[in-house]
Amino acid sequence: MAAYRPLIEFCLGLPTDQFVRDGVDRWLARRLAEGRMPEEQRTNSLYGRTNADWHTRMTPRLGELRAEAERLRDDPVMSELVDVDRLVGLLDDWPECTPVAWAEMLPREVAATRAILAGRFMRQITGRNG
């Protein structure tokens, strides 16, 4: 839904003060939720963490992820785009618990998974997914 073009175009056309006004962030969303959401929830300024369970979900799949990373070596396009040695190294040096530091977390949670997903997509569109 977040990539829905009409929504993106609508948001890009909104005046900036609809997002932040008088020190209140998400001003438009909070105003629209008035009377529709509990006040405690509507006015909550704390932010949650999306994909917070990534480490717990990915840890049991490390073998599968490493095999997928190795498959990138055989792809003539992906092997040029992805540092496969670094990717495999990130998976081999997997932390025992969810890292707190962004510098340790982002390469694994975001970059590694996107590289693997891009490899799967490339195999699918080129018909080499057998």
Give the ranges where the chain is alpha helix by DSSP (H): 5-13, 27-33, 39-42, 54-58, 62-71, 78-81, 84-92, 102-106, 113-126
Amino acid at 10: F
Query: Does the predicted model carry a pTM greater than 0.85?
Result: no
Judge if 64 and 113 occupy the same domain: yes
- Residue 4, classed as helix, strand or coil, is coil
- By percentage, how much of the chain surpasses pLDDT 90? 51
Range of the domain at 61: 54-126
Count of domains observed in the chain: 2
User: Do 59 and 119 belong together in one domain?
Assistant: yes
Tokens 């509990």 identify what position?
Answer: 38
Tens of pLDDT, residues 5-17: 888 888 889 898 8
Could you tell me if 66 and 118 lie in one domain? yes
Asked if residue 98 and residue 61 are part of one domain, the reply reads: yes
Cβ neighbours for 77, distance < 8 A, ≥ 6 positions apart: 122
Instruction: Say if residue 71 is in the same domain as residue 35.
Output: no
